[in-house]
Structure 1
């Protein structure tokens, strides 16, 4: 149910806000195989940041080479040539990002560890709009869809970025940035289908609306078959279809003012096979559930430029979503968000930026067989302020960045998240940087006031024999924010126009992590004689992670380019934490070849390797299951028949069939096996 009082605020807000989308109009847009590595190193990391239009790293236009953070940019050309059809699959292109598919519609996505369907240490943005869900501090990836042809870039920040982005930017930030409306004029029709991608299509049309205004509209949809059954599991029964549409308007109100208005509307139909805990042997009962999700959002952003070194931006968005999933409780969520930021130069050596923001989340849950909230409705509020100053200590050689985020949330109160970053440029081709940061993951509804039936196990009781035991996780109103102290060291090098290298080493010290504490069991007579084993959520967990990430580019010839990346992650747990948080592999490797044998033919090869991982085999029994390492190979062949017509053929997961990538950490959702797939696609511009 949408809260009417807040809807009034929505429309009132739009009467005073006219925002902008300065995404990166000045960035060169050319095929990735035609860019030399100097260009690649200097791709501008311009982002609509959490609520403004500046870089993801410093909230203003900058270059990757000058960013004192571990940053990777996935370009529109990268997405196209990889042949991916969803945002999670596109994220496999970035080093240090762990992506594992659970079934047709569910993924586990994280950066630098702690992966899971409910991974909660990664902040994800779409055009400045947070898609974080306060129910579990994570992302429903099945609800996050964009028209990939209209994505300008995806900026991936590995490591804490909380000083600018706030809570939950603990291990990284993913910022998906759309093209400006003026860059998508005319029409585009895409369509295709194949084995797993049963059918998909999209239509987008853009035009100039006035002397200084441009707009576009789009619709898209797809249908996907369920994944294969995995030995030892019931069928996943996970067919998925989705329809989505939206619009964007960009307007230059004056020489100094830019405004953006955009919105999306979607509806999705999903199915899944859930094993519900029951009090009779074998203590699980399968339920194939069909349900729908839907949502809408609208965003307005205004940017005013005072000079080349000073500007402010004001952004407002409203988001409504509903999930009809009876197994995990029906949910609805309304989010109102307002953000202001101002950047300016202080003399010739300092660039400062500050801002304030407010967010209201209004959620509503229903009881379900697995989840019983202690409060069906809850309104939470987040107040934020930040300040950051970049100081040039030595002319064009040494820079120091200091800043902090200050927040007050409804769960844990006040939180401070500072950072200090130092960057040195020994030569024009090299950059060395170091950083220290603190970041927090604020509590969620699941941590504070939700009762979750995790499973039923048989337990031997003296004098009574084997009794079924309900294992119930109980929220804790005293649960505090999880926090991390992070240390990073990075190096970048570009050699002429032939090669580049980006290295990052990190060490993270986590404290107050989620841990589970067993309570005293009790004997209950109804509905049958059984035990109730309560488990409380606590902050007793500790962990350390360390490793390094490497990304390299080699332009072997004008028509042939190689991209390679590798990441190593080591995790050490000081005390017991949630077992689902141990599910990240130590090794990830990616090697891509982009070849243009002729002006009209492009050929791509993509080889990936993911090391073994431990996953929860049974949610109630806390049993770990080891999944073997896996190699994947994708390829794409495209032929530009005419200047506006391209045909492509994509082969996915060609090395093996029915591959198990991940198991839902709750032990409830049956996973599917990722099989070989082939699909064809047509893209027509007019």
Structure 2
């Protein structure tokens, strides 16, 4: 069997997500004046990170979509990744039950993502590998106030590693979650129970405690057992010592136990096997935040955080801890000019553990300090034209590189209900610690047709091949230049249309370079080693658009339709004297990069209030097929449904169906997922939600 015939991805580790995003109180989907909102309301309006100022979503100079609380509760989904399937331009791959890939505008990878994912300002990607781990995004949907998707790179707005976009989850404050909520679900594939208890402490403070437990059975597969269990416990305290101040303390602990199957290998023996084990994540996060909101244009936030995660998986083990502090200030110079400042410092510690197939450099530096500062200046050039210029400077002791990331945005008010915006920005994606410290990684072994190698001691038959990876010493950060233009219009009081068009230029993308093929006789069983080097292997460009139309058909029916198109192309970085025909591993990784996400993605949802007690929520999602050297992904057309009965205001009983149009959906192709993928089954569940 050739290595290109095996359904595996070539090796690479994840992105280093250095710092959290730059949230401030700045978005509002309604037409109300933000200066009239209370502090609690200002702290929980939908955040529009791209704006960096208090303004309506309609006026932000970037493509963005916000799922509000009603949509989060109504869509027939039970997790954040499933919710994001209904965002235009977002590609979600569920390789196995707890292994997700998230991409915005292309390049989907478990360990090489280019979209930031934050919850209440805190980045969920670990600095070791930067993947989207299931335990960390398995939040209770009842605690979420809004979910925002911002398209395009952060550039000068929120720093490095927010290359292709930003997912920002805003949790409800304890001040608005008094009482008790209990939700339980029993289904053919998944069962869960979650609850929240909140109570007031005097007139100005509140606290809530929330918990969730979920069990998901194995997906459709011949031999992979990816049964997934998660547990989560969180507490949040909010107090308002004055009308201008809001102080928050929050903490959570979590554990995820996911069945995981991959190829194991032992080079010292020349043996390989199917390793069926568990991928276990457990840890905690804690955060304190002080928000002073003087008025709609002036205020500051001081935030500190700490976190610890340990991961035990068949492909590698590590312990990761981090502490950090961040300050942000927003000020209005005058009626036409505004400034936003941010500075942050974080220190992490990563400890890697070796195995028979993974070795790290003996002199790797476990401690890394990150420092980042940014500023954005906005000015109203005319009554209808606004400009903003941003710059972020970021430095880390690991790479000893300083990145300067500029951005320029213009937004033009064409008429009362139409906006046109233009953006030019730059972003980077840092080389993660786990990749740069990699000494040797055997990421699979496979049988092959027996060959005979002549040696001084006679002919030696070889029938096993190993694929290994090392990291280049001169690997550089990835870079992205982005150009975007967008148009928003309010067609009527009940209908909106949004169109975003973009063009990206990628430089120094990270992937596999061929390192040669040679026999190894040192083990008990001789084998053929196919060596690769992780380095900057390609440049590229992509272009496309997202279009969304939302409307209220009548007082009882709302609808949303979206479509996105992506075209991308990548060219190899070749060593002198070599061609792509001489580099099968680089060719394979390039093909997976170039054909690893669908070109067409569409979704639609319809919310219908049938009568006072019954509601029907329908979701449809589709994506086109694609083929690369490792995998053929069929086109997907699926439907989700929720039929709800509300006999009382505080009681909802729902029948939820997922993946209804096909008994099995194979979407397991995920770049740099070291395990085997599975197929997702059709699901039915009964859900009860009580609030009292």
Q: Which residue of 1 aligns with 2:340?
A: 353
1:99 CA drift (Å): 0.4
Counterpart pick for 2:549 among 549, 552, 555:
552
- Assess if the C-alpha contact under 8 Å between 2:405 and 2:425 holds in 1: yes
Matches within 5 A, 1:441-452: 441-450=429-438, 451-452=440-441
- Assess if the C-alpha contact under 8 Å between 1:47 and 1:177 holds in 2: no
1:624 CA drift (Å): 2.2
Aligned pairs, how many?
638
Question: Aligned partners of 1:125, 1:669: CA distance in 2, in Å?
Answer: 26
1:489 paired with 2:477, answer no
3-state SS of paired residue (2:73): helix
Counterpart pick for 2:612 among 599, 603, 615:
599
1:59 CA drift (Å): 3.0
Q: Which residue of 2 aligns with 1:398?
A: 385
Matches within 5 A, 1:266-285: 266-277=254-265, 285=273
Counterpart pick for 1:568 among 565, 569, 576:
565
1:50-108 residue CA offsets vs partner (Å, 9 max, x unmatched): 9x996412333321111100111012221221121111111112111100111111111
1:541 paired with 2:538, answer yes
Q: Which residue of 2 aligns with 1:370?
A: 357
Matches within 5 A, 1:446-525: 446-450=434-438, 451-456=440-445, 458=448, 460=451, 463=454, 464=460, 466=462, 468-525=464-521
Question: Aligned partners of 2:691, 2:42: CA distance in 1, in Å?
Answer: 30
Q: Which residue of 2 aligns with 1:313?
A: 301
Matches within 5 A, 1:223-238: 223-229=215-221, 234-238=222-226
1:466 CA drift (Å): 4.2
Classify 1:547/1:255 alpha carbon distance in 2 versus 1 (closer, same or farther; 3 Å). Answer: same
1:433 paired with 2:429, answer no
- Assess if the C-alpha contact under 8 Å between 2:268 and 2:522 holds in 1: no
Matches within 5 A, 1:211-360: 211-229=203-221, 234-277=222-265, 285-325=273-313, 327-360=314-347
1:532 paired with 2:529, answer yes
TM-score by length of 1: 0.88
Matches within 5 A, 1:68-217: 68-197=61-190, 199-217=191-209
- Assess if the C-alpha contact under 8 Å between 1:601 and 1:640 holds in 2: yes
Question: Aligned partners of 1:352, 1:482: CA distance in 2, in Å?
Answer: 29
Q: Which runs of 5+ in 1 are unaligned?
A: 1-20, 29-36, 616-622
Question: Aligned partners of 1:283, 1:609: CA distance in 2, in Å?
Answer: 42
Question: Aligned partners of 1:286, 1:258: CA distance in 2, in Å?
Answer: 53
Classify 1:537/1:461 alpha carbon distance in 2 versus 1 (closer, same or farther; 3 Å). Answer: farther
Classify 1:181/1:473 alpha carbon distance in 2 versus 1 (closer, same or farther; 3 Å). Answer: same
Q: Which residue of 1 aligns with 2:15?
A: none
Classify 1:550/1:125 alpha carbon distance in 2 versus 1 (closer, same or farther; 3 Å). Answer: same
- Assess if the C-alpha contact under 8 Å between 1:472 and 1:532 holds in 2: yes
Bigger Cα displacement from structure 2, 245-254 vs 435-444: 245-254
1:418-466 residue CA offsets vs partner (Å, 9 max, x unmatched): 1000110011110000100100000102331112213235485653554
1:171-214 residue CA offsets vs partner (Å, 9 max, x unmatched): 001111101111111111111211011x2111111111122111
3-state SS of paired residue (1:65): helix
- Assess if the C-alpha contact under 8 Å between 2:633 and 2:669 holds in 1: no
Question: Aligned partners of 1:310, 1:242: CA distance in 2, in Å?
Answer: 41
3-state SS of paired residue (1:537): strand
Question: Aligned partners of 2:41, 2:270: CA distance in 1, in Å?
Answer: 51
Classify 1:536/1:296 alpha carbon distance in 2 versus 1 (closer, same or farther; 3 Å). Answer: same
Question: Aligned partners of 1:462, 1:387: CA distance in 2, in Å?
Answer: 62
1:544-603 residue CA offsets vs partner (Å, 9 max, x unmatched): 100000111021111011101111011111226634433111010001111001122110
Question: Aligned partners of 1:666, 1:491: CA distance in 2, in Å?
Answer: 36
TM-score by length of 2: 0.87
Q: Which residue of 2 aligns with 1:386?
A: 374
1:610 paired with 2:603, answer no
1:640 paired with 2:640, answer no
1:284 CA drift (Å): 5.0
Classify 1:192/1:456 alpha carbon distance in 2 versus 1 (closer, same or farther; 3 Å). Answer: closer
Matches within 5 A, 1:16-95: 55-95=48-88
Q: Which residue of 2 aligns with 1:16?
A: none
Counterpart pick for 2:407 among 419, 426, 434:
419
Counterpart pick for 1:624 among 626, 630, 634:
630
Q: Which runs of 5+ in 2 are unaligned?
A: 1-22, 455-459, 574-585
Bigger Cα displacement from structure 2, 445-454 vs 167-176: 445-454
Q: CA RMSD in A?
A: 2.7
Question: Aligned partners of 2:267, 2:204: CA distance in 1, in Å?
Answer: 66
Q: Which residue of 1 aligns with 2:660?
A: 654
Classify 1:279/1:353 alpha carbon distance in 2 versus 1 (closer, same or farther; 3 Å). Answer: closer
Classify 1:435/1:668 alpha carbon distance in 2 versus 1 (closer, same or farther; 3 Å). Answer: closer
1:669 CA drift (Å): 1.5
